[in-house]
Amino acid sequence: MAVVSVPLTLPPTGLAPAVASPACLNLLDLDLKGCEQLVMELGHKPFHGRNLFKWVHKHGVTDFGAMTDLSLKLRYQLQAVAEIRPLHLVEDWPSADGTRKWVLELADGQRVETVYIPVLIPQERRHTLCVSSQVGCALDCAFCATARQGFNRNLTPGEIVGQVWHASRWLGEAPSNIVMMGMGEPLANFDNLVKALAIMQDDLAYMVAKQRLTVSTSGIVPNIYRLAEVSDVSLAVSLHAPNDPLRDELVPINRKYPLEVLIPACRAYIGDNLRRRVTWEYVMLDGVNDSPTHAKQLIRLLEGTRSKVNLIPFNPFPGSDFRTSSLERIEAFRDRLIRSGIFTTTRKTRGDEIAAACGQLVGRVRDRARRAPIATLWPPPAVDLAQ
């Protein structure tokens, strides 16, 4: 990491006010090792990097002048080469059920949406934060509003973590659960995602337990194997269909990574840990994937895999051709799965009146990019799918 040489003549009144500059290093992008490396290259002991990391994430401080356990010399150096650049809140949409949707603007003017969902249990203070990983999405799932806007770019680690930083400041504490289920496909932004996950789990930052941190994917199989090598967070898969022909239509990435390779990858991810299972997200579309035959196919598909199925009533959005399955049809589908021994729940729709429910996030992206064909998005890496 190249660091600019900084003159050490301090202003007589201490630190001058920091001036945000896109050219400065954003400390939200750095994990603990990155902060330690930065302060060492500035000529200081690595433990100062731990203190810096803690100020940024655990305390949510943006003013170097307030970091009182760092020397004035180090704070002045940091001010010259770095900054803490939070995402800019441009819209805050509260829902009657306590859900909030935040529209957050990035440095380049792009916008992403983040959803805060409180747990409605008396005497319990728990909450889930739904975090975005990309501006838009290239996967083009048929029932998802984000897909309609196309794909613009990946979020940096700091832009992913910045959503957690914002929520923690608003809540006064870190979210108890974080799900990577917002805009974008997390595993298509693999390196930035993994770095952000490490920051979220760090004891000096947000201390999110691995079982309370979930990555959702539509099924980029090679990166499921890669994730298993570097992380042990919970895995959710946007399944939505129990057979390849239907899933090819609803989730086009299935044409590249069909069920015959997706299911073994998910089994390999949970491995021999009897306490782990895959959560399968299954949006209920009236007359499309909600019949008794579909339920039987899903039971056969998941046989031998430790699973939880999360049935999601479809959340309509403008321009969609789908309808939500009836309550009776959802309950019948759920009951068939439960009788077969599959743990199954029906997700309660939250925040739909503010377009914050599953599949409704759009972010109002500027300068929409053309979608790349699915076949060109992920060149097959050298991964042995049989392992």
Catalytically active residues, by annotation = 113, 358
The rounded distance, in Å, linking the Cα atoms of 181 and 92 is: 19
| DSSP 8-state code for residue 369 | P
Residue length of the chain: 387
Report how far Cα 219 is from the mean position of its chain's Cα atoms. Answer: 15
Q: Residue 274 contacts by C-beta under 8 Å, 6 or more apart in sequence?
A: 306
The rounded distance, in Å, linking the Cα atoms of 135 and 362 is: 9
The rounded distance, in Å, linking the Cα atoms of 174 and 197 is: 14
Closest CA to 234 of 276, 199, 274: 276
Check: CB of residue 102 under 8 Å from CB of residue 82: no
Report how far Cα 142 is from the mean position of its chain's Cα atoms. Answer: 20
Closest CA to 197 of 20, 314, 189: 189
